[in-house]
Amino acid sequence: GLLDHLGIEEAHIGGLSMGAYTTIGFGLTYPEMSKSLIVAGAGSGSEDVEKFHQNSADYADQMDSGGMEAMAKYVGGDTRARFRHKDPAGYALFEELFMSHSNKGAANTFRGFQGTRPSIYTREAELKNLRVPMFVINGDEDEPCLEPGLFLKRTVPTAGMAVVPQTGHAVNIEEPMAFNQHVAEFLSLVELGTWLPRDYGSGDAW
C-alpha cells in the first residue's frame, strides 16, 4: 500500500463522505497503522441501502449518457442548500470543481463503490471492538448522515462527535474554521494520549 511504500508505519487517517466510509474501512482492516480516524459525513444511504444503491446506479447511467451536466440536481441537493446560501462564492467554486470531474470516472465510482457498499450498520460487531481513536463530525443539516454519525458515537468505544450548526454535508469546506479547530483539538488529544475509550460508569444517571 501507499503507507508501506512511503515507509510510514502509522498515520492519522481522515475523509469526508465516501472518504469517511473508506477511513472506517481502513481503520477496521489496519488498526495497527491507524493512529486516529477522522470521519466526516459518513454513512449516507445506510437507512435504505437498496434505494441508495439504485439511486447510485441511476446517477451513473445519467453521467454515462449525459456527462457531468446530468449531475446538476445532485450537486444542488438539500445537504448543500445551506452552503449555497451562506457562501455563494465558495459554493460556486465547489460546483465548478465538481462539474469538472471526468463523467466516466465519476460514473464508475458511483456504480462500483457507492452503489455496492453495505450499510454502515452491518459493521456494528467490528466497530464495537475498534480501539483506534475516532472523531466523528457532521453538519446538523446533513440529514442522511446524522443517524449514522450517532451510531458511530454509540458503537465505537473511542469515538467522540461534534455537530456543526446550520451546516450541510461538505462540512470541511462549508465551515473550514470550525472543522479545522475541531480536528486540531482532536489530534492534540490523541498525541497527548488523553483521547480515551468511553467509561460507562457503574449505573444509571441523569
Separation between Cα atoms, residue 159 and residue 149, nearest integer Å: 10
* Structure confidence at residue 202 (pLDDT): 58
C-alpha pair distances (Å), 46 with each of 23, 78, 121, 148, 173? 16, 17, 7, 7, 23
Find the mean pLDDT for residues 35-64: 95
Find the mean pLDDT for residues 153-170: 97
Find the mean pLDDT for residues 60-74: 92
* Structure confidence at residue 16 (pLDDT): 98
Three-class DSSP category at 117 = coil
Give the rounded distance of the alpha carbon of 145 from its chain centre: 8
Query: Does the pLDDT value for residue 134 go beyond 80?
Result: yes
- Can you say whether the dihedral through the CA atoms of 205, 158, 24, 71 is positive or negative? positive
pLDDT band at 96 (very low <50, low <70, confident <90, very high): very high
Half-sphere exposure of 152 (CA within 13 A, CB side): 33
Exposure class string for 177-191: b at 16+ Cβ within 10 A, else e = ebbeebbeebbebbe
pLDDT band at 206 (very low <50, low <70, confident <90, very high): low
Nearest by Cα to 168 from 144, 195, 202, 134? 144
pLDDT band at 120 (very low <50, low <70, confident <90, very high): very high
* Structure confidence at residue 203 (pLDDT): 64
Instruction: Please give the model's pTM, rounded to 2 decimal places.
Output: 0.93
34-40 vs 11-16, strand pairing mode: parallel
pLDDT band at 79 (very low <50, low <70, confident <90, very high): very high
| Tally of CB atoms within 10 A around 154 | 14
pLDDT band at 177 (very low <50, low <70, confident <90, very high): very high
Query: Does the pLDDT value for residue 200 go beyond 80?
Result: no
Query: Does the pLDDT value for residue 44 go beyond 80?
Result: yes
* Structure confidence at residue 73 (pLDDT): 86
Find the mean pLDDT for residues 39-47: 95
Find the mean pLDDT for residues 57-71: 94
Taking the CA atoms of residue 171, residue 34, residue 184 and residue 17 in that order, the dihedral angle to the nearest 10 degrees is 0
Parse the chain into domains and list their residue ranges.
Answer: 51-114, 135-170
Separation between Cα atoms, residue 170 and residue 116, nearest integer Å: 22
DSSP E strands in 112-194: the ranges are: 134-139, 159-164
Mean pLDDT score of the chain, rounded to an integer?
Answer: 95
